[in-house]
Protein backbone atom coordinates (compact mmCIF):
# COMPACT_ATOMS: atom_id res chain seq x y z
CA UNK A 1 0.00 0.00 0.00
CA UNK A 2 2.74 2.57 0.75
CA UNK A 3 4.36 1.76 -2.59
CA UNK A 4 1.04 2.27 -4.38
CA UNK A 5 0.56 5.63 -2.66
CA UNK A 6 4.02 6.75 -3.78
CA UNK A 7 3.45 5.42 -7.28
CA UNK A 8 0.15 7.22 -7.78
CA UNK A 9 1.54 10.27 -5.99
CA UNK A 10 4.12 10.71 -8.76
CA UNK A 11 1.36 10.69 -11.36
CA UNK A 12 -0.70 13.18 -9.36
CA UNK A 13 2.31 15.47 -8.96
CA UNK A 14 3.06 15.34 -12.69
CA UNK A 15 -0.58 16.11 -13.50
CA UNK A 16 -0.51 19.10 -11.17
CA UNK A 17 2.80 20.34 -12.60
CA UNK A 18 1.72 20.22 -16.24
CA UNK A 19 -1.69 21.67 -15.39
CA UNK A 20 0.09 24.68 -13.91
CA UNK A 21 2.73 24.73 -16.69
CA UNK A 22 0.97 23.63 -19.88
CA UNK A 23 3.69 25.16 -22.07
CA UNK A 24 6.18 22.63 -20.71
CA UNK A 25 4.10 19.64 -21.77
CA UNK A 26 4.91 17.61 -24.87
CA UNK A 27 1.68 17.00 -26.74
CA UNK A 28 3.48 14.65 -29.15
CA UNK A 29 3.86 11.91 -26.52
CA UNK A 30 1.93 8.89 -27.73
CA UNK A 31 1.57 7.13 -24.36
CA UNK A 32 1.02 8.43 -20.81
CA UNK A 33 3.88 6.18 -19.63
CA UNK A 34 6.28 8.53 -21.43
CA UNK A 35 5.35 11.56 -19.31
CA UNK A 36 7.62 10.71 -16.37
CA UNK A 37 10.74 9.99 -18.51
CA UNK A 38 10.06 13.20 -20.45
CA UNK A 39 9.82 15.14 -17.18
CA UNK A 40 13.13 13.67 -15.99
CA UNK A 41 15.12 14.55 -19.12
CA UNK A 42 13.48 17.91 -19.82
CA UNK A 43 12.87 19.49 -16.41
CA UNK A 44 15.13 18.05 -13.71
CA UNK A 45 18.68 19.39 -13.32
CA UNK A 46 21.44 17.27 -14.82
CA UNK A 47 22.72 15.79 -11.55
CA UNK A 48 19.24 15.14 -10.13
CA UNK A 49 18.07 13.57 -13.41
CA UNK A 50 21.02 11.17 -13.31
CA UNK A 51 20.25 10.17 -9.74
CA UNK A 52 16.59 9.53 -10.56
CA UNK A 53 17.48 7.45 -13.61
CA UNK A 54 20.01 5.46 -11.56
CA UNK A 55 17.36 4.93 -8.86
CA UNK A 56 14.86 3.66 -11.45
CA UNK A 57 17.40 1.18 -12.84
CA UNK A 58 18.42 0.08 -9.33
CA UNK A 59 14.80 -0.50 -8.31
CA UNK A 60 14.15 -2.42 -11.52
CA UNK A 61 17.22 -4.60 -11.02
CA UNK A 62 16.34 -5.36 -7.40
CA UNK A 63 12.84 -6.48 -8.43
CA UNK A 64 14.04 -8.52 -11.38
CA UNK A 65 16.88 -10.37 -9.68
CA UNK A 66 14.75 -11.32 -6.68
CA UNK A 67 11.99 -12.63 -8.97
CA UNK A 68 14.46 -14.63 -11.07
CA UNK A 69 16.04 -16.06 -7.94
CA UNK A 70 12.63 -17.01 -6.52
CA UNK A 71 11.60 -18.80 -9.71
CA UNK A 72 14.89 -20.73 -9.91
CA UNK A 73 14.63 -21.69 -6.23
CA UNK A 74 11.04 -22.87 -6.67
CA UNK A 75 11.87 -24.93 -9.77
CA UNK A 76 14.93 -26.50 -8.14
CA UNK A 77 13.38 -27.23 -4.74
CA UNK A 78 9.73 -27.94 -5.51
CA UNK A 79 10.16 -29.81 -8.80
CA UNK A 80 13.71 -30.97 -9.51
CA UNK A 81 14.54 -32.19 -6.00
CA UNK A 82 11.06 -33.64 -5.53
CA UNK A 83 11.12 -35.76 -8.68
CA UNK A 84 14.84 -36.58 -8.57
CA UNK A 85 15.60 -37.89 -5.09
CA UNK A 86 19.29 -38.52 -5.82
CA UNK A 87 19.94 -34.98 -7.08
CA UNK A 88 23.37 -33.66 -6.14
CA UNK A 89 24.22 -30.11 -5.16
CA UNK A 90 26.15 -29.40 -8.39
CA UNK A 91 23.22 -30.63 -10.50
CA UNK A 92 20.80 -28.48 -8.49
CA UNK A 93 23.04 -25.47 -9.00
CA UNK A 94 23.15 -26.18 -12.74
CA UNK A 95 19.35 -26.40 -12.92
CA UNK A 96 19.02 -23.16 -10.98
CA UNK A 97 21.40 -21.37 -13.34
CA UNK A 98 19.64 -22.68 -16.44
CA UNK A 99 16.28 -21.65 -15.00
CA UNK A 100 17.57 -18.17 -14.20
CA UNK A 101 18.87 -17.69 -17.76
CA UNK A 102 15.60 -19.00 -19.23
CA UNK A 103 13.49 -16.70 -17.07
CA UNK A 104 15.73 -13.75 -17.93
CA UNK A 105 15.44 -14.39 -21.67
CA UNK A 106 11.68 -14.82 -21.35
CA UNK A 107 11.47 -11.52 -19.48
CA UNK A 108 13.51 -9.74 -22.16
CA UNK A 109 11.28 -11.13 -24.88
CA UNK A 110 8.13 -10.15 -23.03
CA UNK A 111 9.49 -6.64 -22.43
CA UNK A 112 10.34 -6.21 -26.13
CA UNK A 113 6.85 -7.40 -27.07
CA UNK A 114 5.25 -4.96 -24.63
CA UNK A 115 7.40 -2.08 -25.90
CA UNK A 116 6.37 -2.69 -29.51
CA UNK A 117 2.69 -3.49 -28.95
CA UNK A 118 -0.20 -1.06 -29.05
CA UNK A 119 -0.62 -0.63 -25.29
CA UNK A 120 -1.97 2.65 -23.94
CA UNK A 121 -0.86 2.20 -20.35
CA UNK A 122 1.70 -0.28 -19.06
CA UNK A 123 0.29 0.05 -15.53
CA UNK A 124 -3.21 -0.98 -16.66
CA UNK A 125 -1.81 -4.03 -18.43
CA UNK A 126 0.27 -4.91 -15.37
CA UNK A 127 -2.81 -4.65 -13.13
CA UNK A 128 -4.78 -6.89 -15.50
CA UNK A 129 -2.08 -9.56 -15.65
CA UNK A 130 -1.52 -9.41 -11.89
CA UNK A 131 -5.24 -9.78 -11.29
CA UNK A 132 -5.62 -12.63 -13.77
CA UNK A 133 -2.76 -14.71 -12.41
CA UNK A 134 -2.34 -13.38 -8.88
CA UNK A 135 -5.99 -13.33 -7.81
CA UNK A 136 -6.16 -17.10 -7.61
CA UNK A 137 -2.95 -17.26 -5.56
CA UNK A 138 -4.37 -14.70 -3.15
CA UNK A 139 -7.50 -16.81 -2.93
CA UNK A 140 -5.37 -19.83 -1.98
CA UNK A 141 -3.82 -17.96 0.93
CA UNK A 142 -7.22 -16.69 2.09
CA UNK A 143 -8.70 -20.17 1.76
CA UNK A 144 -5.89 -21.68 3.81
CA UNK A 145 -5.96 -19.06 6.54
CA UNK A 146 -9.67 -18.45 7.07
CA UNK A 147 -11.30 -21.85 6.55
CA UNK A 148 -10.97 -25.08 8.52
CA UNK A 149 -12.60 -27.35 5.94
CA UNK A 150 -10.25 -26.60 3.03
CA UNK A 151 -7.74 -29.24 1.94
CA UNK A 152 -5.20 -29.66 -0.83
CA UNK A 153 -7.46 -31.19 -3.45
CA UNK A 154 -10.17 -28.60 -2.92
CA UNK A 155 -7.59 -25.81 -3.08
CA UNK A 156 -6.26 -27.04 -6.44
CA UNK A 157 -9.79 -27.26 -7.81
CA UNK A 158 -10.44 -23.74 -6.54
CA UNK A 159 -7.33 -22.43 -8.27
CA UNK A 160 -8.25 -24.08 -11.58
CA UNK A 161 -11.85 -22.90 -11.28
CA UNK A 162 -10.67 -19.39 -10.53
CA UNK A 163 -8.53 -19.41 -13.68
CA UNK A 164 -11.53 -20.50 -15.76
CA UNK A 165 -13.70 -17.78 -14.22
CA UNK A 166 -11.03 -15.17 -14.87
CA UNK A 167 -10.75 -16.21 -18.52
CA UNK A 168 -14.52 -16.10 -19.01
CA UNK A 169 -14.75 -12.68 -17.39
CA UNK A 170 -11.93 -11.33 -19.56
CA UNK A 171 -13.46 -12.65 -22.78
CA UNK A 172 -17.17 -12.06 -22.11
CA UNK A 173 -17.46 -9.00 -19.86
CA UNK A 174 -16.46 -5.36 -19.77
CA UNK A 175 -15.35 -5.17 -16.15
CA UNK A 176 -12.22 -3.15 -15.46
CA UNK A 177 -8.97 -5.07 -15.23
CA UNK A 178 -8.36 -3.82 -11.71
CA UNK A 179 -11.29 -5.96 -10.54
CA UNK A 180 -9.64 -9.17 -11.72
CA UNK A 181 -7.75 -9.47 -8.45
CA UNK A 182 -11.00 -9.32 -6.46
CA UNK A 183 -12.85 -11.77 -8.71
CA UNK A 184 -9.90 -14.16 -8.64
CA UNK A 185 -9.70 -14.19 -4.85
CA UNK A 186 -13.46 -14.59 -4.35
CA UNK A 187 -13.91 -17.29 -7.01
CA UNK A 188 -10.94 -19.30 -5.74
CA UNK A 189 -12.18 -19.15 -2.15
CA UNK A 190 -15.77 -20.10 -2.99
CA UNK A 191 -14.94 -22.89 -5.45
CA UNK A 192 -12.18 -24.25 -3.22
CA UNK A 193 -14.39 -24.22 -0.13
CA UNK A 194 -17.32 -25.95 -1.87
CA UNK A 195 -14.98 -28.50 -3.45
CA UNK A 196 -13.42 -29.23 -0.07
CA UNK A 197 -16.87 -29.91 1.38
CA UNK A 198 -17.92 -32.23 -1.46
CA UNK A 199 -14.65 -34.07 -2.13
CA UNK A 200 -12.85 -36.12 0.54
CA UNK A 201 -9.48 -34.76 1.57
CA UNK A 202 -6.18 -36.51 2.11
CA UNK A 203 -6.66 -36.70 5.87
CA UNK A 204 -3.85 -34.29 6.76
CA UNK A 205 -4.45 -32.05 9.77
CA UNK A 206 -4.43 -28.26 9.36
CA UNK A 207 -3.80 -27.68 13.06
CA UNK A 208 -1.71 -24.57 13.57
CA UNK A 209 -2.16 -23.41 9.97
CA UNK A 210 -5.33 -21.30 10.19
CA UNK A 211 -6.23 -18.09 11.96
CA UNK A 212 -8.48 -20.07 14.30
CA UNK A 213 -5.52 -22.02 15.65
CA UNK A 214 -3.76 -18.73 16.34
CA UNK A 215 -6.72 -17.50 18.34
CA UNK A 216 -6.82 -20.73 20.33
CA UNK A 217 -3.13 -20.37 21.23
CA UNK A 218 -3.71 -16.81 22.44
- pLDDT of res. 215: 59
Helix 180-198 with 152-172: angle, nearest 10 deg: 140
CA gyration radius, the chain: 23
Q: How far is CA 119 from CA 56, 166, 180, 214, in A?
A: 21, 21, 18, 46
Query: Are the beta carbons of 54 and 77 closer than 8 angstroms?
Result: no
Is it the case that residue 190 has pLDDT exceeding 90? yes
pLDDT digit string (tens) for 1-58?
Answer: 788 788 889 889 999 999 898 888 887 777 777 888 889 988 888 899 999 999 989 9
User: Which residues have C-beta within 8 Å of that of residue 165, sequence separation ≥ 6?
Assistant: 183, 184, 187, 191
Identify the CA nearest to 67 among candidates 110, 120, 36: 110
Lowest mean pLDDT among 106-110, 193-197, 202-206: 202-206
> Residue 66, SS3?
helix
**pLDDT band at residue 216, thresholds of 50, 70 and 90?**
low
Query: Considering Cα of 79, then 81, then 87, then 89, what sign does the dihedral take?
Result: positive
Residue 184 · residue 131 · CB < 8 Å: yes
CA 146 to chain centre: 22
Decide: pTM greater than 0.75.
Answer: no
Within 8 A by CB and 6+ apart from 179, the residues are 131
Q: What pLDDT, on a 0 to 100 scale, did the predictor assign at position 34?
A: 83
Sorting pLDDT into bands at 50, 70 and 90, what band is 166? confident
Whole-number Å distance between alpha carbons of 174 and 180: 11
Between CA 165 and CA 187 the distance in angstroms is: 7
Go through 47-69 and write b for each residue having 16 or more CB atoms within 10 A of its CB, e for each that does not.
eeeeebeeeeeeeeeeeeeeebe
- Per the CB < 8 A criterion, the answer to whether 64 and 103 are in contact is no
Sign, Cα dihedral of 174, 177, 178, 183: positive
pLDDT tens per residue across span 71-118:
999 999 999 998 888 889 999 999 999 999 999 999 899 888 877 877
Q: What is the DSSP letter of 30?
A: S
pLDDT tens for 139-162 read 888 888 888 888 888 888 998 998
Amino acid sequence: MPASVLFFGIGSALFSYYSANPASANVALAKPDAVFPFFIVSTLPAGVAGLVIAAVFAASMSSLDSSMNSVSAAVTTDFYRRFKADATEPSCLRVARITTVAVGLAGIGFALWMANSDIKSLWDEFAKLLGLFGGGLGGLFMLAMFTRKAHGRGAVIGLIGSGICQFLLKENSDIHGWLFGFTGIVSCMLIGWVASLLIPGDGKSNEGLTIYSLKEKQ
